[in-house]
Amino acid sequence: MLKAVEEISATKKRLKIEIPASVIEEEIQKALKEIQKKANIPGFRPGKAPLSIIERKFGKDAESDVLEKLVSEYYSRAIKEANLKPLLPPVTEDFIDVKRNEPLSLDLIVEVSPKVENLNYENIEIEDIDINVSDEEIEDVIKRLSSEKGVYESTDEPAQNGDLVIIDYSSDTGKQAKDFVYKIGAGPFPEEFSKALEGKKRGENFSITIDFPESSIAEFAGKKVNFEITLKEVKRKHDIPYDELPEEVGFENMEALKKHIKESLERTKRQQAEQKMKLDILNRLLEIHDFEIPEGVFELEMKRLTAHYDSMGVDITQHMDKISETARENVKAFILIQLIGEKEKVSVSEEELKQEIINISSRYGITPQGVVQFYMSRDGSLDALRNEIFERKVFEILLQKSKKLKKQEVDK
């Protein structure tokens, strides 16, 4: 039973719990009888060994199992009775030891979210970002598609940047090549090689000397190479004509293509706008709320961030202050979102969880079972996915309750 709740700090509580001796003994006897049913003891038929022998042989195992079971049960009851929502598993202050026929007293330390006074998240002023798509933006996409779908055709014009050339070459290193296809300006040879090709026409023979830097990815790296080159063909990319473009990309006509482009641009702009507005709201929430953060959660976030940056090759020791600041902000953001979600009675149903799995499955072309396996193998549960949905729902509320202003009003 819960004896007392002591406040260590705004985020740390000590639960004083006592488990009656009678409950402990009853559970131990139950455990021993279960062991008795399955135990094979020499000199006795299976399941018929006296309980006294079972206790001498398996007593400590039974006590260990009972201790784990009862501590878990009484801890769950205690946090419900104390109306606490721990952020991390409890930590024991002292070694827990069961003494037969004596009550067990436990001191468990739990970390909880701090109480945030005057939690304010309504009417936060943010810029109402314009998501209108102009005709010029649509035209830019069409031009890009026309270029991307274009084809290379032979030309008698002098070679220029972006052309494909077909050359034969020999070098004083002994390396030779026939029908070598090279895109001028795209490498892997140095820029000087491309410049030497520019202005040359089909059929020209010429010599060039190129210094390849050590960092070059070409096989001539670190060498000064003399080339004898024959330019056999120049190919230039020609954009696909506008009247052929819709069919090329799978649309009936230009009107249908433009409609698709506009909808795609609007969707992208809307997603980007919402992301920025959410970030602006979060930054404002962090500015106006100051509170103590849970030490254990902060340490976990520090470990996560340092591991992340270390995997990227970042010198952690040189950026520890920045990592610490980021970890602190992340924990504050997590707590604020949780508290706002609780106040707004946000929850995630099993149906919402299933639908999110289906959405991810469709988006990435994997089975729903594959999505579940990914989260289970990474986190051991679907809690992270559930929290993603929870946060998204909280931010939807924050956006609804925000005060959207035009840019000129925000800048005042």
pLDDT in the model for residue 411: 57
223: which strand partners? none
Averaged pLDDT for residues 73-77? 94
Interval 11-16 mean pLDDT? 94
Q: Classify burial at 153, counting beta carbons within 10 Å of its beta carbon; exposed 0-12, middle 13-18, buried 19 or more.
A: exposed
Alpha carbon 274 to its chain's center: 18
Listed in sequence order, the residues at least 6 apart from 338 whose beta carbon sits closer than 8 Å to its beta carbon are: 113
CATH node for 151-238: 3.10.50.40
Q: Which CATH architecture has domain 255-410?
A: Orthogonal Bundle (1.10)
Strands (DSSP E) found in 88-175: 91-92, 104-111, 125-127, 151-154, 164-171
68-73: average pLDDT: 93
Work out the burial of residue 232: count CB atoms within 10 Å of its CB; fewer than 13 is exposed, 13-18 middle, 19 or more buried.
middle
Q: Give residue limits of the domains in the chain.
A: 2-111, 151-238, 255-410
- Rounded to two decimals, the pTM is 0.72
Task: Determine the length of the chain.
Answer: 412
Give the pLDDT score at 330.
95
Q: Is the pLDDT of residue 101 over 60?
A: yes
Three-state secondary-structure class, residue 341: helix
Taking residues 65-77, what's their average pLDDT?
93
Token representation of residue 398: 């924050």
| Residue 215's pLDDT band (cuts 50, 70, 90) | confident
pLDDT tens-digit series, residues 145-158: 999 899 999 999 99
Task: Name the token pair of 361.
Answer: 């499955």
Task: Determine whether domain 2-111 maps to CATH 3.30.70.1050.
Answer: yes
Closest CA to 36 of 12, 61, 24, 53: 53
- Half-sphere exposure (Cβ direction) of 261: Cα atoms closer than 13 Å: 24
The token pair at 264 is 């795609």
Statement: residue 412 has pLDDT above 70: no
From CA 36, how far away is CA 315, in angstroms rounded? 58
pLDDT in tens, 344-365: 999 999 999 999 999 999 999 9
Tell whether the model's pLDDT for residue 282 goes beyond 60: yes
Per-residue 3-state assignment (H helix, E strand, C coil) for 59-91: HHHHHHHHHHHHHHHHHHHHHHHCCCCECCCCE
Rg of the chain over all Cα atoms, to the nearest angstrom: 35
The tokens describing 132, both together, are 């209108």
CB-side exposure of 13: number of CA atoms within 13 Å? 24
